[in-house]
Amino acid sequence: MAAHLSYGRVNLNILREAARKELREFLDKCAGSKAIVWDEYLTGPFGLIAQYSLLKEHEVEKMFTLKGGRVPPADVKNIIFFVRPRLELMDIIAENVISEEKLPAPREAHILFVPRRSLLCEQRLKEQGVLNSFTNIDEYILDLIPYDGDLLSMESESAFRECYLENDQTSLFHTAKGLMTLQALYGTIPQIFGKGECARHVANMMLRMKREFAGSQNQILPVFDTLLLLDRNVDLLTPLATQLTYEVLSCDSDQCVQNGFKFAQKKPGEGGKDLPTEPKKLQLNSAEELYAEIRDKNFNAVGAALSKKAKIISAAFEERHNAKTVGEIKNFVSQLPHMQAARSSLANHTSVAELIKDITTSESFFDNLTVEQEFMTGVDTDKINTYIEDCIAQKDPLIKILRLVCMQSVCNNGLKQKVLDYYKREILQTYGYEHILTLNNLEKVGLLKPQTTTRNNYPTIRKTLKLWMEDANEQNPNDISYVYSGYAPLSVRLTQVLARPGWRSIEEVLKMLPGPHFEERQQLPSGLHKKRQQGENRTTLVFFLGGVTYAEIAALRFLSQMEDGGTEYIIATTKLINGTSWVKSLMDRPEAQIL
Amino acid sequence: MTRAKPEDDDWNSSKIHAFTFDDDDDEFTKLKESKRAVSSILVDDDDDDDDDDDDDVEKVSWSGEPVGSISWSVKETASSIRSGGEHGFPKINTAPSLPKQGSGYSLSSLFKASTRVYAPELRKPKSECKVNSPCSDIILLSMDKLLLLDEAVSAHDGNVITAVLIYLKKSLSKEIFFQELMVREIALRHYVHYLKEMEEQKTLVELMKLPFSQDDAIHVQDHYTLLERQIIIEATDKKGEAEIFKKFPRKASILNMPIITTLYYSCFYHYGESEGTFSSPANIRSTFRISEKQYILTALGARAKLKSWFDVDSLFNTKNWLGYTKKRSPIGFHRVVDILQKNNAPVQVLKDYVSLIDDAELKLSLAQKYKCHDIVIEMYRDLKDRQQLIVYQGKVERGSHEDRKIDQLLGNMQIRWKN
């Protein structure tokens, strides 16, 4: 039982247990001793479902990574491939199986497709002549993985690209399926709200799937009151902005999105040389007490929180002087492990915070942030920005440039042709012409496009929804805008308004945002209607289609714990993203040098 | 879109045909380049009247297709394969266009020596047509082309060889081309090398298949031109014979580098070459329409790295309308100072540029940062700030020239200090 998953209203352990049960059943199906060959990408998500101990209980003796050639020798009866349904992986498996069959005593082979089987992949295996070599081919439907007590993710890295660039809505189908699974475990969700094209599709699919199961009625008392489906492209601005919460800054861009993140800590040495310390792998989630406290804070407030904690811990250690009786000493000693753990956790986070401070107080960080905030407040978004020009001239990392120019474009509802051409040319000349594909992609999804009408709706949206709060209080926030030191994420603001006073009050603004908005109701079997107690909170599941950032998660958590908020939020998404990983997914040839 | 050099058109334009062998009427055919390609196809090397002015006339081949269209080029290819030549040979005028490399050879001079050209001047009256044979297709006999290759090889000019190879690859049928290469060892070596580098072409072909807007098409074309140039430069520079390559050996190949990086490389290793050579900064600048700002920034970086302060100086010299030389910079002089300082420029050099900074506050802070004492002293004098001057005196070496200067100023009764 994972402790961190049962905090909060919704016990996501149920989901996890269901997933574990399925895994156990499959493992038992392949009777006898086994070795698992892993698609590397799956090790992260699986780690959240089951530890090695569970696998061992079901006779898993060895684990290998999927690669070409032969499966390493191991004295087991079965070899099970845990893979995503991707064609290139099928080729590697075929290679493995063919060389396995050449052995004097070949082991039995099985495949577990995660999250779904694919006809195309099985076809490929057939072409390679190995399809019949497998004893069991199954699918392990792992759509929504619980990352924390209030966070679920599909970890579908290509969802945004597929939906918005390639017009491929397969991931939406999986989303709908995932939501059906969720409803099977947690009850039918009576109200569905949505904004965006993809949201509409998902809702339609859900309703249709529900009709297909018309016979069986779900008798579980519904845990969720509302489902809110949001397209990522309703709010393209938020993922582009530099995130300022501790959680994000404490890890190295990409690594942040994995749950057990590694962070390589670099401290600039005297001669400008980097002294990388050992990359630490910390399993960080709300189970670590201190981390849970500071993760969602704006970084500027972390220092104060850490020093407060330090005082508490020292005071606790001082208690030993007060312990006089044997009973009291015994009591103190029993507390020691906990206190020591707290102290080492504090030491870890303090050193991390110091490194972050070096970055956030640097001129380049500050300059970057300033330009971002200028764009967000609508300053000079129609001109060529000199800071961006200078950064290109200095050959700063391409992703940084792309994020800034996209931000300017989004805040201006498209750039003037002259400005756009200028940026494009500078980028191509400085970073290489091959990036023209990327620039095209960015235009297609609406991130970097020419101005089509002279009307820029962004200032209106900003004013009506109060997206820019001048006096954001980072230490003691009273509004979600603290996560970006002044900017309230549009997506979260929409969520907030939906709860109170409702979307009717912002009809005009909603029309300015892309895609339809809608409301659906699902029939609950009689007798299951929840009677809400006085002062009891509603529970809303917010599903971000195309990715969600940690800053938005922090903002939603802030709303959840607001005194008279009235609603608690569970967050789900196709992928946990940050600005870098998100823009990267739209780049063509990301393996080429982009830095 | 105009190109500075007609020769460049030739190299580029003939390529365009090569990529559009299907009948889809894609954006490329609409490019002006096609038109230019057509106009430049008219070759006449014996007399010097260049056919620059043909753009306005629509030329039509005997089969009725407009010359330069895809269907026309397809037909031409098909017919010329039998006759051993292809549709167009780039126009060469007598001005040498390839890097001289001290060899004194240019393609045109090779041409004069070795070929007969059949050029249907479809527009000009038949009387001016210098050919004996019926004006059917534009043919350069394959044997003439090979003669060209041999001449290039004997010139030992890598650039020229590669250039000819590029042309031959496009204009000869594969079988003949390979056949002839087999018996020409040096040329073969060059070609293999060229092929290796050209792996990138696959991507380019893919790029060209995508539906691009007019502007993007220009970028893709630039990409192609850039790659071509890089191959030529790489072929020569790899040998590394010039002094500069020995002093500052190259760390990597120039292939596939972005244009600005290529420009930097050119400013580093080929500075001062005439605009006629492919490797000169001036040529790159004009071919790729690099902005003045970008050019100066890049050239500054390269020359500063080499500590050629004189070159750096000339970058900023302009003549004003009275004929006096004046210093001007499209980037702020504070930027110039920064870049120079990063390259360890001595104070004497730095101070020249610090003194050109307009903004007084910035000027003062940078002068102090880089210890340009004279400037600081003068500024405090102009500001009539005695206190600061005294404070600053503490920072300069006792008894030094600056120290005495400050003393002098402080003692000067005529200055009306404000504090």
Q: What is the largest CA-CA distance in chain A?
A: 81
Instruction: Determine contact, residues A229/A202, Cβ cutoff 8 Å.
Output: yes
What is the DSSP track for A494-519? HHHHHHTT-GGGGHHHHHHSSS-EEE
Q: Tell me whether residues A429 and B257 touch, CB distance under 8 A.
A: no
Average pLDDT, chain A: 85
pLDDT at A143 over 60: yes
Rounded Cα distance, A275 and A370, in Å:
29
Rounded Cα distance, A223 and A471, in Å:
37
Residue in this structure with the two tokens 């397809």, named with its chain if needed: B74
Q: Tell me whether residues B207 and A436 touch, CB distance under 8 A.
A: yes
Q: Name the residue among A594, A489, A494 with its Cα closest to residue A550.
A: A489
Instruction: Determine contact, residues A225/A547, Cβ cutoff 8 Å.
Output: no
Chain A: residues touching B (Cβ < 8 Å):
393, 395, 421, 424-426, 428-434, 436-437, 440
Q: A99-142 pLDDT, tens per residue?
A: 988 888 888 999 999 888 877 788 888 888 889 889 989 988 88
Residue in this structure with the two tokens 């502007």, named with its chain if needed: B215
Nearest chain A CA: its distance from B1 CA (Å):
15
Instruction: Determine contact, residues A91/A124, Cβ cutoff 8 Å.
Output: yes
Rounded Cα distance, B285 and A234, in Å:
42
- B226: closest chain A residue by CA: A433
Identify the pLDDT of residue A490: 96
Nearest chain B CA: its distance from A431 CA (Å):
5
Residue in this structure with the two tokens 């945004």, named with its chain if needed: A160
Identify the pLDDT of residue B37: 39
Q: How confident is the model at residue A251 (pLDDT cuts 50, 70, 90)?
A: low
Rounded Cα distance, A242 and A550, in Å:
11
Nearest chain B CA: its distance from A429 CA (Å):
5
Identify the pLDDT of residue A375: 94
Q: Is residue B276 classed as helix, strand or coil in its secondary structure? A: coil
Sequence-distant (≥ 6) Cβ neighbours of residue A547 within 8 angstroms: A159, A160, A232, A239, A573, A574, A575, A576, A577, A582
Q: Tell me whether residues A424 and B258 touch, CB distance under 8 A.
A: no
- Return the residue in A384, A388, A394, A425 with the most chain B beta carbons within 10 A, the one to mutate for interface testing: A425
Nearest chain A CA: its distance from B203 CA (Å):
9
* Helices and strands in chain B: count of H runs, count of E runs: 22, 2
* pLDDT, mean of residues A164-192: 89
Instruction: Determine contact, residues A400/A241, Cβ cutoff 8 Å.
Output: no
Instruction: Determine contact, residues B236/B99, Cβ cutoff 8 Å.
Output: yes
Under DSSP, the state recorded for B258 is -
In DSSP terms, A576 is beta-bridged to A548
Rounded Cα distance, B66 and B25, in Å:
14
In DSSP terms, A38 is beta-bridged to A65, A82
CB neighbour class for B324 (10 Å; exposed up to 12, middle 13-18, buried from 19): exposed
Select the residue of B207, B215, B260 nearest A429 (Cβ to Cβ). B260
In DSSP terms, A245 is beta-bridged to A298
Nearest chain A CA: its distance from B217 CA (Å):
10
Identify the pLDDT of residue B198: 54
Chain B: residues touching A (Cβ < 8 Å):
203, 207, 210, 215-216, 219-220, 222-223, 226, 256-260, 288, 290, 294, 297
Instruction: Determine contact, residues A292/A318, Cβ cutoff 8 Å.
Output: no
Identify the pLDDT of residue B213: 66
**Strand pairing of A145-148 and A274-276?**
unpaired
The three-point CA angle B341-B346-B348 to 5° equals: 115
- A589: closest chain B residue by CA: B203
Under DSSP, the state recorded for A427 is H
Nearest chain B CA: its distance from A378 CA (Å):
26
| Chain B residue numbers touching A432 (CB-CB < 8 A) | 256-259
Q: Tell me whether residues B219 and A434 touch, CB distance under 8 A.
A: no
What token pair was written down for B86? 């292809």
Q: How many CA atoms lie within 13 A of A108 on its CB side?
A: 12
Under DSSP, the state recorded for A72 is P
Identify the pLDDT of residue B58: 46
Q: Name the residue among B23, B128, B26, B16 with its Cα closest to residue B65.
A: B23
| Chain A residue numbers touching B207 (CB-CB < 8 A) | 436-437
Q: Tell me whether residues B258 and A436 touch, CB distance under 8 A.
A: no
Task: State the CB neighbour count (10 A cutoff) for residue A314.
Answer: 11
| Chain B residue numbers touching A393 (CB-CB < 8 A) | 294, 297
Q: How confident is the model at residue A510 (pLDDT cuts 50, 70, 90)?
A: very high
Q: Name the residue among A134, A458, A433, A190 with its Cα closest to residue B207.
A: A433
- B220: closest chain A residue by CA: A433
Identify the pLDDT of residue B84: 39
Q: Tell me whether residues A429 and B203 touch, CB distance under 8 A.
A: no
pLDDT at A496 over 90: yes
| Amino acid identity, position A19 | A
* pLDDT, mean of residues A543-570: 92
Residue A561 has φ and ψ, to the nearest 5°, of: -95, 10
Instruction: Determine contact, residues A437/A391, Cβ cutoff 8 Å.
Output: no
- A429: closest chain B residue by CA: B259
The three-point CA angle A443-A447-A450 to 5° equals: 55
Rounded Cα distance, A275 and A266, in Å:
6
Q: If you count them, how many residues does chain B have?
A: 419
Instruction: Determine contact, residues A191/A519, Cβ cutoff 8 Å.
Output: yes
Better-predicted residue by pLDDT, A209 or B179: A209
Identify the pLDDT of residue A284: 55
Select the residue of B256, B288, B297 nearest A393 (Cβ to Cβ). B297
- Return the residue in A433, A442, A449, A589 with the most chain B beta carbons within 10 A, the one to mutate for interface testing: A433
Q: Tell me whether residues B290 and A429 touch, CB distance under 8 A.
A: yes
What is the DSSP track for B125-177? -GGG---SS-S-S-B--HHHHHHHHHHHHHTT-HHHHHHHHHHHHHHS-HHHH
pLDDT at A65 over 60: yes
Residue B408 Cα distances to A115, B376, B393, angstroms: 84, 15, 12
**Strand pairing of A34-38 and A78-83?**
parallel
pLDDT at A557 over 90: yes
Q: Tell me whether residues B219 and A428 touch, CB distance under 8 A.
A: yes
- The H or E element containing residue A38 is strand A34-38
Rounded Cα distance, A322 and A334, in Å:
15
Q: Tell me whether residues A428 and B259 touch, CB distance under 8 A.
A: yes
Point out the residues of chain B with pLDDT beneath 70. Answer: 1-142, 154-160, 162, 174-175, 182, 185-186, 188-214
Instruction: Determine contact, residues A551/A483, Cβ cutoff 8 Å.
Output: yes
pLDDT at A300 over 80: yes
| Chain B residue numbers touching A433 (CB-CB < 8 A) | 219-220, 222-223, 226, 258-259
Q: Tell me whether residues A432 and B219 touch, CB distance under 8 A.
A: no
In DSSP terms, A63 is beta-bridged to A36
Q: Name the residue among A517, A510, A515, A411 with its Cα closest to residue A465.
A: A510
Identify the pLDDT of residue B267: 93
What token pair was written down for B11? 């190299």
Q: A279-293 pLDDT, tens per residue?
A: 444 555 555 778 888
Q: Tell me whether residues A433 and B219 touch, CB distance under 8 A.
A: yes
Q: Tell me whether residues A433 and B257 touch, CB distance under 8 A.
A: no
Rounded Cα distance, A495 and A238, in Å:
14
Rounded Cα distance, B370 and B378, in Å:
15
Nearest chain A CA: its distance from B257 CA (Å):
7
- Return the residue in B209, B212, B257, B260 with the most chain A beta carbons within 10 A, the one to mutate for interface testing: B260
Rounded Cα distance, B332 and B337, in Å:
9
Rounded Cα distance, B98 and B108, in Å:
10
Nearest chain B CA: its distance from A434 CA (Å):
8
- A430: closest chain B residue by CA: B260
Identify the pLDDT of residue B159: 61
pLDDT at A448 over 60: yes
Rounded Cα distance, A389 and A450, in Å:
18
Select the residue of B203, B210, B258 nearest A429 (Cβ to Cβ). B258
Question: pTM for this structure?
Answer: 0.71
Residue A271 Cα distances to A267, A268, A275, B109, angstroms: 11, 8, 10, 56
Nearest chain A CA: its distance from B108 CA (Å):
32
Select the residue of B215, B258, B297 nearest A432 (Cβ to Cβ). B258
Nearest chain A CA: its distance from B153 CA (Å):
33
What token pair was written down for B194? 């060229």
**Burial letters for A60-99: b for 16+ Cβ neighbours within 10 Å, e otherwise?**
bebeeebeeeebeeeebebbbbbbebbeebbebbbbbbee
Q: A513-556 pLDDT, tens per residue?
A: 999 999 999 888 777 776 666 667 889 999 999 999 999 999 99
Residue A450 Cα to chain centre, angstroms: 30
What is the DSSP track for A241-255? SPP-BHHHHTS-GGG
Identify the pLDDT of residue A544: 97
Q: Tell me whether residues B226 and A430 touch, CB distance under 8 A.
A: no
